[in-house]
Structure 1
């Protein structure tokens, strides 16, 4: 008689129950993982939005506060522009430190296309041409003399000023090398070098000495455009149309300008950018409105953003968005 061995292993029913319990456990683990992943993406997206928004606001606020600085000169009427040019930037030196373009349309800066419907902010002023201890010195006759460590070069366009007058011109020659004794600047009129902006006149309003300062003019244009990743960023262009991406994730920029129309030092009206130079010369404050978005899907089902003009837009692409608003005083205009 053959003996039967005891049953070993699992029965079919036990195996099916085990598979079911394992599947339920795995499903729970996957749900926890998905939830944690969604939370991480949302937190990461929000962190990037905060980083980009705060940095962009801080950067633009600083530039606005410093804009329209033309040295110690009392007003733009005290500055004489000696340059033989019709270039918009060069003719605006000493006066138009706050400009803008409202609702850009088919606008190109350098070779970069500005986002249609966004605003463009244009800021100008001057910076010290003699860094560190470099400075103007008392002249010998009518010459302009700077210290040996003042790194200006022939061909540079400069503003030389006191607290009474200022003159803008091209340096046509320099006697003396950097670090090797005092340097004498020349500013002849007429054709000197075809690559330079020529001077209409070599006459200056006064003899500038140690009570004077020498500056280099600048212009910075801030705008929104698409970057290489296919999302929008804040870009800046200098006076030579050299474009650089500054802050990713800035999806839109709207700018309002506060005008002091009565000379009281207080904003009387807010408006968009104007082509009227007289209106823009009354601007004493700038209001920024930046829409910042995460660079990828942050697991947001939908989000509605309310703008300052009362409009609302619903976004359903999963990206986090936040509106950053700041009002900035132009320190070089109006009362502090």
Structure 2
């Protein structure tokens, strides 16, 4: 009987297992590579967080300055009419002119503003929030209040006789959001009337504004035709308060704690005012609000914002040093932050176009 013996073939060197030394080398190389990947990922993530925070604070600052700038530029506006300087001073002093601007509204503006003084600043956290319910203002921050024409207007639909108490506007004026008791301005670019009115039966065909005598001191004295336009005169303010545990720039619409937020993480706002001291309608000096003796002489405003990254972020290894305009100061000085957030300063100088030469 033949016997068959099974024998194994010679083992190829490529079929052998790895030695312990080889395994340790492979693990070491893998660990080094993994650590490198983690470090690259962590570094990229940190860079992304920094760029994201810087991008957001820049966007917030740009939004805030654009919004405030539009209101400052329009402060004291009367449609396409520019009030002569002598009348501007009289209006600021409470003299109700009838030469170019006939003022019969009583009172002419909200928020403590007077005609001719449609821009008013407040230093050191002393901004007085409008409305019956106040709001907390962060100490050491400035505030600003503006009076200007509304963004929406409409042309008259017919002649407006001096003794006619009703002002007829097209139905499209309903989209302007006019309200009872608002201050309105009628202007044809050569003269203007500022009055208060109530809405009279708005409908799909027209909008009628009633010239209520209990809201005004007299009837209008100027007759206008359909070349004149009507818009509201609005009062709006800006101040720093706390929203959701962080500082924010707030728009004062008279609703106290419910005032809308314009931009988050605005740590401070300081404002300097360009004052015309020589009567040439240009700024001769920039001063803080407490140094402005006559607000009808203010022809420009410099808005300075201090922006910061989110309060919970510690994005830099050491507190940052930045140049900032302290309260009541006229020039910036170096400030060391109290945390490791990112800080950026933004500044914009805005001319009041209704007082520019």
- Tell me, yes or no, whether TM beats 0.5: yes
Q: 2:146 aligns with which of 112, 117, 123?
A: 123
Query: Is 1:307 paired with 2:330?
Result: no
> Aligned partners of 1:158 and 1:207: how far apart in 2?
15
Query: Is 1:142 paired with 2:163?
Result: yes
> Aligned partners of 1:323 and 1:153: how far apart in 2?
39
Q: How does 1:223-234 map to 2 (within 5 A)?
A: 223-228=239-244, 230-234=245-249
CA 1:292–1:17 in 2, change beyond 3 Å: closer, same or farther? Answer: same
> Aligned partners of 1:90 and 1:235: how far apart in 2?
16
Deviation at 1:64, TM superposition (A): 1.2
- Is the CA contact (8 Å cut-off) linking 1:139 and 1:209 kept in structure 2? yes
Q: TM-score, normalised by structure 1?
A: 0.79
Correspondence for 1:283? 298
Deviation at 1:188, TM superposition (A): 2.7
CA 1:160–1:107 in 2, change beyond 3 Å: closer, same or farther? Answer: closer
> Aligned partners of 2:222 and 2:104: how far apart in 1?
15
Deviation at 1:81, TM superposition (A): 4.9
Correspondence for 1:331? 353
Correspondence for 2:55? 47
CA 1:130–1:209 in 2, change beyond 3 Å: closer, same or farther? Answer: same
Q: 2:120 aligns with which of 93, 99, 102?
A: 99
Aligned residues: 315
Correspondence for 1:192? none
Query: Is 1:319 paired with 2:341?
Result: yes
Backbone CA RMSD of aligned residues: 3.4
> Aligned partners of 1:11 and 1:148: how far apart in 2?
93
CA 1:14–1:332 in 2, change beyond 3 Å: closer, same or farther? Answer: same
CA 1:156–1:59 in 2, change beyond 3 Å: closer, same or farther? Answer: closer
Residue deviations 1:121-178 (CA, integer Å, cap 9, x gap): 11111227643xx32631357114323424456544323456345342333x73x643
Rg comparison, structure with higher value: 2
- SS of corresponding position for 2:260: strand
CA 1:186–1:27 in 2, change beyond 3 Å: closer, same or farther? Answer: closer
- SS of corresponding position for 1:209: coil
Deviation at 1:237, TM superposition (A): 1.4
Q: 1:36 aligns with which of 21, 44, 54?
A: 44
Residue deviations 1:161-211 (CA, integer Å, cap 9, x gap): 56345342333x73x64343684734233xxxxxxxx44x3x225143216
Residue deviations 1:18-57 (CA, integer Å, cap 9, x gap): 4333322222222111221122222222222222222222
CA 1:93–1:158 in 2, change beyond 3 Å: closer, same or farther? Answer: farther
Residue deviations 1:268-291 (CA, integer Å, cap 9, x gap): 111111386x52211101111111
CA 1:111–1:248 in 2, change beyond 3 Å: closer, same or farther? Answer: same
Q: 1:21 aligns with which of 6, 25, 29?
A: 29
Residue deviations 1:49-108 (CA, integer Å, cap 9, x gap): 2222222222222221111113436333425554555x9726635332111111115965
Correspondence for 1:208? 223
CA 1:25–1:318 in 2, change beyond 3 Å: closer, same or farther? Answer: same
Q: What are structure 2's unaligned runs of at least 5 residues?
A: 1-10, 326-330
- Is the CA contact (8 Å cut-off) linking 1:222 and 1:237 kept in structure 2? yes
Q: 2:213 aligns with which of 188, 194, 200?
A: 188
> Aligned partners of 2:128 and 2:169: how far apart in 1?
43
Deviation at 1:327, TM superposition (A): 0.9
Correspondence for 2:7? none
CA 1:183–1:62 in 2, change beyond 3 Å: closer, same or farther? Answer: closer
- Is the CA contact (8 Å cut-off) linking 1:67 and 1:332 kept in structure 2? yes
- SS of corresponding position for 1:92: coil
